[in-house]
Structure 1
Amino acid sequence: MKLKLRKADEMERYQTDKSAKIAFIFYTGALLAWGLYNFFSTGKTGGEFTILLVGNAIFLWSRVVYRRKMQ
């Protein structure tokens, strides 16, 4: 069976962008809260803080790449 993909229309792209933004904010907030809790309770940062930093670095780097492609 061959799966046929179609391009998303403008409304689907808008909905996906909004959903992704909300999810990104949630994950960032949750990882930040977890990292701060661990830091203040144990004095060390755990893997959640590393995941938060790497995820935000990837997000910012990809924004720069896409912005340069658009110019």
Structure 2
Amino acid sequence: MKIKKADEMEKFEIKQAAQNGFLFYTVALLIWSSYDFIKTGERGWEATILLVGICVYFWTLVYYKRKVHS
């Protein structure tokens, strides 16, 4: 079985799918954590998962931008 390299259209589609997935999970966790905070007055695990996911996203973004520009 031979694996072919992705062309520009496939790269674009993968990027869009990843962005849409990240946006969905971010909004879903934000709504869930906000609801939970209003209901119980405490932050749950969903808020921690949301913050860790956002940190991973931004640190990865910074890493690759520095890698490309240096």
Q: TM-score range by the shorter chain?
A: over 0.9
Structure 1 residue ranges without an equivalent (≥5):
none
Q: Structure 1 length as normaliser, TM-score?
A: 0.91
Letter of the 1:21 counterpart: Q
- Find the counterpart in structure 1 of residue 58 from structure 2: 60
- Find the counterpart in structure 2 of residue 12 from structure 1: 10
SS of the residue corresponding to residue 8 of structure 1 reads: coil
Aligned length: 69
Q: Structure 2 length as normaliser, TM-score?
A: 0.93
- Find the counterpart in structure 2 of residue 27 from structure 1: 25
Deviation at 1:5, TM superposition (A): 3.0
- Find the counterpart in structure 1 of residue 47 from structure 2: 49
RMSD of equivalent CA atoms: 1.0
CA deviations 1:17-38 (Å, max 9, x no partner) are: 1111111110000000000000
Taking the aligned partners of 1:18 and 1:10, their CA distance within structure 2 comes to 12
Structure 2 residue ranges without an equivalent (≥5):
none
Taking the aligned partners of 1:57 and 1:4, their CA distance within structure 2 comes to 36
